[in-house]
Amino acid sequence: MTSQPETLDLSRRERQVMDILHRRGEATVAEIMTDLPDPPTYSAVRSVVRILGEKGLIRHRDDGPRYVYFPATPAESAQERALAHVVSTHFAGSPEQAITALLRMSDVDLSDADIARMRDSIRRARDDGR
Q: Is the pLDDT of residue 66 over 90?
A: yes
Q: What is the pLDDT of residues 5-19, one digit of tens each?
A: 445 588 999 999 999
Q: What is residue 14's predicted lDDT score, i.e. its pLDDT?
A: 96
What domains sit in the chain, N to C, each tagged with a CATH number? 12-71 (1.10.10.10), 75-127 (no CATH)
Q: What is residue 3's predicted lDDT score, i.e. its pLDDT?
A: 42
Q: What is residue 41's predicted lDDT score, i.e. its pLDDT?
A: 96
User: Residue 61: CB partners within 8 Å, gap ≥ 6?
Assistant: 67, 68, 70
Q: What is residue 5's predicted lDDT score, i.e. its pLDDT?
A: 46
Query: Between 27 and 97, where is the model more confident?
Result: 27
Q: What is residue 107's predicted lDDT score, i.e. its pLDDT?
A: 67
**For residues 80 and 84, what is the distance between their CA atoms, to the nearest angstrom?**
6
Q: What is the pLDDT of residues 21-61, one digit of tens each?
A: 999 999 999 999 999 999 999 999 999 999 999 999 999 99
95-108 average pLDDT score: 80
User: For residue 102, how far is the Cα from the chain centroid?
Assistant: 18
* Of residues 65, 66, 71, 62, the one with CA closest to residue 14: 71
Other beta carbons less than 10 A from residue 11's beta carbon: 11
Radius of gyration for the alpha carbons in the chain, expressed in angstroms and rounded: 18
